[in-house]
Structure 1
């Protein structure tokens, strides 16, 4: 009976501590002005992506429909963001581009988080030869600029949304592996882990029951910031002609298609997708900064 009670104590203490941390972090996040602005920008982006088909229906446009009689029309009631060099409505294309950007950002970061955290958690927890092998592999990947490595992957596999998500996700794996490994190394010697080990908890239980929940905070912060970086990388690949292909609409491809008309006075096909990229990156960065400040243990007493 006493052994059972002893086993429950560290688990209950860890659960109470984790619940309190997330509750306090939630309260600080709600009061964080930067995070509020970030959430507002991201909500607008999500709304734009979800309502893209409705926007096209209301305006009577199609994101890939070519109308040579409507080329490079300036913003108006009929075309709120004007038209591009092929007569396509820029507002409709920006809205459909939001779908692609969100999909790329979430899927690429999801891939990087799952694979990277699994590598880092197991390397930090079990150590020995696996730690050395995994971290040396991550070091090799980090030796290359991330965008250059993504370009190489897409160049080998060909352009397209799937390959863009795959490339952007792969190049971000080392960041999450290193963060999760560092967190695991600091957690595995904590008192609550030692207490759980002393009462007979198995290695998998220690890892997934005690280490993983406490390692989530830095991963969540990095993932939120990573979505912004992934969207920016996808736009860069699209700008280089290595991103989405028709019928998909991508903001980076819109930039390169409109660049030469900027110097002819037609600024709108370039300005609006550029603004969309900028505001999206700012939004996710502000949310990431708010999460980081809210989850910072040094601020828990403030």
Structure 2
């Protein structure tokens, strides 16, 4: 057999060999296979960019009194102001541009939701993994605290905290962290208990590696997939909770608007036909929650170990 024929035969064999797909590539491919999840991710990306750069492009700062005119109060969508400015989504009872207000509210709602979810995830995951690794009385004590907190309705606990601390963006974020960390802790503990019994943890312990290194370098990375899914969905839940608290008057102050506060501002005008004051912020809130849930549901399917099997 000639050298040319031999090399051709080897190339044909190489083409028949299966290409090993990394777990990350597999998850990306499966995620991108869902048009709904991709659409949700695109919407979230656009809204995030709008929240970041929106204040630089909106026609009006709705909370700058120098830019407001009471004569523009409750104008219908598409109406023009005395100065000739077009209000595409109308104005509220204070003459504020609804489009500008929604973008400012989007900025606050997304910021509160993302920050509270990430901090709660960091705290809850650390506590849950430590409880699983420590075991014994430490684990029992931590789990009893978690069970006690989860036995109370989340909105009730948040209302009690804000009734004591008062309104404010930082107070809302702190309240959401307090009511959400236990969800991450319980999930992290359950996943860590499974990983705790595997050989790579026993090998790390046999090398007398410091506990913190075993926890955060070896145990934590293998517990992340389900926690990422929970964090994604929890952002939407945090935004909903913040909107509920603001609607009830215990959330963010009027000087730092959120979508929930904008809905609350227009609620009293619904019966008088001024629907746009609450409708458009409500639509924006609905779009955010639906987009987050679409992404979270697909992530849950992608990292599901039973599907991988």
Q: Same fold (TM over 0.5)?
A: yes
* CA deviation after TM superposition for structure 1 residue 55, in Å: 3.0
Q: How far apart, in 1, do the equivalents of 2:269 and 2:262 lie? A: 12
Deviations 1:203-259 (A, max 9, x none): 333322221000000110000000000000000010011111132111111111101
In 2, the alpha carbon distance for the partners of 1:133 and 1:28 equals 40
1:39 paired residue number: 41
Separation in structure 2 between the aligned mates of residue 116 and residue 74 of structure 1, nearest angstrom: 46
Give the superposed CA RMSD.
Answer: 1.6
TM-score (norm 1): 0.88
Cα offset for 1:198? 4.2
- The C-alpha deviation readout for 1:50-91, integer Å capped at 9, x for no partner, is 2322333xx2x2212442111111111711111011111000
Query: In the superposition, relative to structure 1, how do residues 178 and 280 fare at CA in structure 2: closer, same or farther (>3 Å)?
Result: same
Corresponding pairs, count: 280
When the two structures are superposed, what TM-score results if normalisation uses the length of structure 2? 0.86
2:23 and 2:190 mapped to 1: Cα distance? 20
Distance 1:209 1:161 in 2: 34
| Residue in structure 1 matched with residue 188 of structure 2 by the alignment | 180
Tell which has more relative contact order, 1 or 2 (C-alpha 8 A, sep 6+): 1
Distance in 2, Cα, partners of 1:202 & 1:52: 47
Q: Tell me, which stretches of 5 or more residues in structure 2 are unaligned?
A: 1-20, 80-85
Larger CA deviation: 117-126 vs 33-42: 33-42
Displacement of 1:202: 4.4
- The residue number in structure 2 matching 1:136 is 144
Contact 1:111–1:170 (CA under 8 A) maintained in structure 2: no
Q: Which runs of 5+ in 1 are unaligned?
A: 1-18
Residue 9 of structure 2 corresponds to none
Aligned residue for 1:204?
A: 212
Counterparts in 2 of 1:1-302, with a 5 A limit?
20-56=22-58, 59=59, 61-64=60-63, 65=65, 66-76=68-78, 78-300=86-308
CA shift for structure 1 position 201? 4.2
